[in-house]
Amino acid sequence: DGGITQSPKYLFRKEGQNVTLSCEQNLNHDAMYWYRQDPGQGLRLIYYSQIVNDFQKGDIAEGYSVSREKKESFPLTVTSAQKNPTAFYLCASSMSRGTQHFGDGTRLSIL
Amino acid sequence: KNEVEQSPQNLTAQEGEFITINCSYSVGISALHWLQQHPGGGIVSLFMLSSGKKKHGRLIATINIQEKHSSLHITASHPRDSAVYICAVSGSRLTFGEGTQLTVNP
């Protein structure tokens, strides 16, 4: 079945480490998105990509980086510059500006 | 003030009750979305609407463009409806409300 796969489901990071969250989709969607969710807040956009080899910063891009080398994949790296990385991260994809389809999320915690 | 406001933030109901969750927005939109987030965190899109009303099973979504308001109704609620319901609006990008935590008790 088509869908979005995020891995891992739970991730732990030590102080000063970079970690990469995986997002893969087999829906043949052009656009992909990364969101961060914190308790009591709506989802906030970190980065998005509307086409391979191109991506744009969202509202809270500082401390994060992405790449879009393949249509199916949009990995997110949480760098050591992100001072408060503990959160739930959701990846989504869509056809152009159509309905976004979401993955099951990755919960990142700091050790 | 958030661009997308939902009410209530938390809602507890008894099985069988009719439930309404409200969403107001303050920006121009091309569409409004209702999403459901289960305890595990995954999000499912329930509705995308730009006018009028849509129905799927026991769920009904309405939107009033002039008043910039949408409602999500659940008829004959069931414990499996317990989830966070999120309103989001499509403008230049998708903007999300904070969500409504619904708990339906048996």
Q: Collapsing DSSP states into helix, strand and coil, what is residue B79?
A: helix
pLDDT of A2 over the 80 cut: no
Q: Which residues of B touch A101 (CB under 8 A)?
A: 45
Q: How far is B48 from chain A (nearest CA, A)?
A: 7
Residues in chain A closer than 8 A to B98 (CB atoms): 40-42
Query: Scanning every residue of chain B, which has its alpha carbon at the shortest distance from the alpha carbon of A88?
Result: B41
Separation between Cα atoms, residue A26 and residue B30, nearest integer Å: 26
Task: Give the DSSP letter of residue A38.
Answer: -
Q: What is the rounded CA–CA span in Å between residue A42 and residue A27? A: 25
Is residue A25 within 8 A of residue A72, CB to CB? The reply is yes
What are the chain B neighbours of A103 within 8 Å (beta carbons)? 42
From the number of C-beta atoms within 10 Å of its C-beta (0-12, 13-18, 19+), residue B69 rates as middle
Please tell me the distance from the alpha carbon of residue A6 to that of residue B5, in angstroms, as a whole number.
29
The pLDDT score that the predictor gives to residue B75 is: 97
Rounded distance between C-alpha atoms, residue A71 and residue B9, angstroms: 37
pLDDT at A80 over 80: yes
Contact residues on chain B for A97, CB-CB shorter than 8 A: 30, 90
Of A97 and A85, more confident = A85
pLDDT reported for residue B1? 63
Q: Give me the pLDDT at residue A83, please.
A: 86
Low-confidence ranges of chain B (pLDDT < 70): 1
A7-39 residue pLDDT tens? 999 999 888 899 999 999 999 999 999 999 998
pLDDT given at position A98: 77
Average pLDDT of chain A is 92
Look at residue A1 in the predicted model and tell me its pLDDT.
62
Distance (Å, whole) CA A30 – CA B52: 29
What is the model's pLDDT at position B99?
Answer: 95
Contact assignment for A104 to B93 by CB distance below 8 Å: no
Q: Which of B102, B89, B83, B92 is nearest to B47 (CA)?
A: B89
Q: Are A25 and A52 in contact (CB under 8 A)?
A: no
Binary contact (B42, A48; C-beta < 8 A): no
Q: What percent of chain A has pLDDT over 70?
A: 97
- Cα B98 from Cα B106, distance rounded (Å): 26
Cβ atoms of A78 and A108 closer than 8 Å:
yes
User: Which whole-number Å values give the CA distances from B10 to A17, B63, B95, in the listed order?
Assistant: 37, 21, 20
Q: How many CB atoms lie within 10 A of CB A100?
A: 25
Coil, helix or strand at residue B80: helix
Residues in contact with B50: Cβ distance below 8 Å, sequence separation at least 6, in sequence order: B29, B30, B31, B32, B63, B65
Chosen from A4, A37, A106 to mutate, greatest number of chain B CBs within 10 A: A37
pLDDT at A84 over 70: yes
Residue B74's pLDDT is 98
Q: According to the model, what pLDDT value does residue A81 have? A: 87
